[in-house]
Amino acid sequence: MKKILVLFLLFQSHLLSAQVGESVNFFEGNFNDAVAKAKQDNKLLFIDCFTTWCGPCKWMAANVFTNDTVSKFFNSNFICYKLDMEKGEGLEVAKKYSIKNYPTFLWLDGGGKQIHRSVGSAPVASFMKIANHAIEPKGNLAYLDGQYKAGNTRSELLLAYAYALQAAYDMNCQVVADEYFKKLPSDQLTSATNWKMIVEFTPNINSYIYNTISKSPQPFYDRYGKDSVQHTMDELALKSIQFAAQQKDSVMLENAMSRVKQSSNAEVLSSGAQQELDYYKRNKNTEKYTALASDYVQKYLWTNANALNAVCWTYFMQVNDKTKLKDAEGWIAQSVKLDDKYYNTDTYANILHKMGRDKEAIMMAKHSIEMAKKSGEDFSSTQELLNSMEKKGSAVR
């Protein structure tokens, strides 16, 4: 019986090890030792630049670096090294190689020069493609960058360079992609490869390719259908709003929103309106925010309970003008009419309180708490508001 049990346990152990598979072997030692080892073995040094709080870093460690295909390739072709960017040597490495996003993956030569780079988690197939580019003499980022700076602007190189920059999370990929589009004959722009690039790389409405399609859309309509092309152009205009917000470019923002307003898609219009409002909220331009809200709410947000609530909460937090608060009261009432829940009834109670209408605010706060109890949500802040108003009312009496 004991022999059978031992054999069973050995069999289970074998199955478990087969399921776990081989993992990437990471070099033990300091950064300089890792670079020296790469030089000694005539291999590239691969560095997993991580932080302890980074979820995608942990996902890569659990799901990609334990994959047999990845581990065999990396263990054969690279000296592999892990480095926490917020501790010890990691702080200097992060500064030296301008690492600001996690995870970042570096490939360095034996002299410590960056040869290739990628940013962000990736499934096995995509990560293997990136790693293969790293060992291609004419496919890695360092080679492509050198060729481009030397004046090589062949279409094939621009295409490869744009994708390599994109993998490295370098926004110059958009500039290079636009340069690629400019070199192509107009009849080649509609190819499947180029249409995919247009969708991936068009940075904003000021780009060459966006304006080219806007001026002459018919060839794209003929191949991909008018509705599909217009939807893509709408999505690119929305991306322009995000890009403008990142750059704090209010002129581009307004131009992009002007393009969005030409859409016949209600969801696109609503999304654009919310993004533009959010821009002025984050920049604390309350005057511009309220001017837009008074125009946008009934045009684009009237059937969106969450969007209405977001606007009304901003009014509660930042607006003191009674006329404007009266507008917000009407909007939050519409939100509650659409979706009577804790999140918006709490906003309603707060707005009524800010307007000095505590009797109504108390009733709404009590209703809001009942909604929270039904959904199991934390209503402590609403309870505090209610207690405060009831205490004040008792004192007045």
Q: Annotated catalytic sites, by residue?
A: 54, 57
Omega prior to 103 cis, within 30 of 0? yes
**8 Å CB contact between 169 and 119:** yes
Among 232, 207, 209, 229, smallest CA distance to 218 is for: 229
Pairing outcome for strands 78-84 and 44-50? parallel
Q: Which 3-state string (H, E, C) describes 55-71?
A: HHHHHHHHHCCCCHHHH
Nearest to 163 by CA among 218, 211, 201, 122: 201
Instruction: Measure the CA–CA gap between 103 and 312, rounded to whole angstroms.
Output: 37
Contact 305, 338 (CB under 8 A): yes
Contact present, 335 and 309 (Cβ < 8 Å): yes
Q: What are phi and psi of 38, to 5 degrees?
A: -65, -40
Residue 165 CA to residue 156 CA, distance in Å, equals 14
User: Residue 371 in contact with residue 340, Cβ under 8 Å?
Assistant: yes
CA distances from 277 to 262, 283, 304, 314, 335 (A): 18, 10, 15, 10, 17
**C-alpha to C-alpha distance for 293 and 286, rounded to whole angstroms:** 10
